[in-house]
Amino acid sequence: MTDSLNTWATWREIHQQPAVWRAWGAALDVAGLRAWIAEQAADEIWFCGAGTSAYIGDIIAAAVPGTRSVPSTDLVANPRAFLTGNRPLVVSFGRSGNSTESLGTLDALDALAPDAPRLHITCNPDGALATRAAPGPLKVINLPEVTHDAGFAMTSSFSTMLLTALALFDAPCDVPARFDALADQLDALLPQFGTPRPERAVYVGSGPLTYAAREAALKVMELTAGQTPALWDSSLGFRHGPKSFVRGETAITVFSSPQSPTRAYDTDLVAELRAQFPEARVTEIGPDGDIDIPMPFGTAWAAPLCIAAAQIDGVKWAADLSLNVDDPFTGQGTLSRVVAGVTLHGVGDGADA
């Protein structure tokens, strides 16, 4: 089956991640970029993006103090609720750098916070995030072009943008060595991933891994064109109603944390789900789990390793459904690789209608 999966760009993009991380970790000018960030003396650090790019910010903000996730979908819809006299450093993520919300974020900043410094992390050197000028300080990080995933689903683009931002905003570390270590882990993990397609799927985690669960759920829904309903939540939050989603042979994946007391809540949930739903397939992914993923650098850094399990499952399940893995929505006209068709409106005056 692997040979047939290799015909899909998405499958190859998942498997290229370790090599990309190794090369990029050695090339990234961490010291120069950290110095530029410090020079901006911003009030806050915002991470902006839409969909998967927004979840990058969610993961980091849950781990790094003094940072905030501001999805561009929220900012564009109500810019004056965010841009009111403050001076954030706005970090924008974008695979293409051309989505409607990326453009809308730049428009809102130009109009309401022109002096706010901007850092763009993008995979497309020809996109608006890479090429559009700004009235204030601007730094652009163009990731290796190989991360500009050709497939519908963001895989290596997501993970490399996430690791890049962690290298710049988390506690200082030996970035090349850390990227190498994560690449070694993923090389060893990829052959372990892959499960039979379920009727529905659930992903849960705690802290940053809550939002890793969100990205994992999105991956399988995207790649199976909605034919595998998937839910995400936190390990504690899942009990408060969302657990009603489980029925029959639901596949439940718990991304478990090494931290105390977080790990105790994660493992308690695993035991509870196995007792209450004997037909469900419950898999713990994390330190000493069913799939063992040590997390010596913290859970945010381990998020790409956990999410790779859903990337692999999503491709395999899409192939089982005879879908076009690189464009599961072929012929439907409902979703596209780069979101389009959104009409941008002016920033308004902030008054309620």
State mean pLDDT over 211-228. 97
Other C-beta atoms closer than 10 Å to the C-beta of 21 total 25
- Judge if 2-176 and 193-320 fold alike in CATH terms: yes
Contact 81, 349 (CB under 8 A): no
Pick the CATH number of 2-176 from 3.40.50.800, 3.40.50.10420, 3.40.50.10490, 3.30.70.1290: 3.40.50.10490
pLDDT at 13: 98
- Nearest CA to 197 among 288, 297, 315, 102? 315
State mean pLDDT over 258-283. 97
pLDDT band at 276 (very low <50, low <70, confident <90, very high): very high
Which DSSP string do the residues of 230-253 spell out, in sequence order?
EEEEETTGGGTTGGGG--TT-EEE
CATH 3.40.50.1980 is right for the domain spanning 193-320: no
State mean pLDDT over 204-214. 98
Domain ranges of the chain: 2-176, 193-320
State mean pLDDT over 98-104. 93
- Token pair for residue 163? 């690791």
- Token pair for residue 52? 């998967």
pLDDT at 330: 78
pLDDT at 85: 77
pLDDT at 343: 82
User: Which alpha helices (DSSP H) does the chain contain, by range?
Assistant: 2-5, 9-15, 17-27, 30-39, 52-61, 72-77, 100-112, 128-131, 156-169, 175-189, 208-223, 262-276, 299-320
pLDDT band at 173 (very low <50, low <70, confident <90, very high): very high
Close Cβ partners of 78 (under 8 Å, ≥ 6 residues apart) = none
pLDDT band at 339 (very low <50, low <70, confident <90, very high): low
Cis amide leading into 287 (omega within 30)? no
pLDDT at 129: 97
Q: What is the pLDDT of residues 326-335, one digit of tens each?
A: 999 877 765 5
Give yes or no for residue 105 having a pLDDT over 60: yes
Helix (H) or strand (E) holding 45: strand 45-48
- Token pair for residue 303? 């998020």
pLDDT band at 353 (very low <50, low <70, confident <90, very high): very low
Euclidean distance between CA atoms 326 and 7, whole angstroms: 10
Give yes or no for residue 89 having a pLDDT over 80: yes
227 burial via Cβ count (<10 Å: 0-12, 13-18, 19+): middle
| Alpha-carbon torsion angle 325, 318, 12, 16, nearest 10 | 120
pLDDT band at 315 (very low <50, low <70, confident <90, very high): very high
pLDDT at 349: 65
How many residues in total does the chain contain? Answer: 353
Task: Return the half-sphere exposure (C-beta side, CA atoms, 13 A cut-off) of residue 18.
Answer: 14
Mean pLDDT of the chain, nearest integer = 94
Q: What is the pLDDT of residues 284-303, one digit of tens each?
A: 999 999 999 999 999 999 99
Q: What is the pLDDT of residues 36-76, one digit of tens each?
A: 999 999 989 999 999 999 999 999 999 999 999 999 999 99
SS3 call for 100: helix
Give yes or no for residue 351 having a pLDDT over 60: no
Contact 305, 186 (CB under 8 A): yes
State mean pLDDT over 17-44. 97
Q: What is the pLDDT of residues 123-155, one digit of tens each?
A: 999 999 999 999 999 999 999 999 999 999 999
User: Which alpha helices (DSSP H) does 190-331 contain, by range?
Assistant: 208-223, 262-276, 299-320
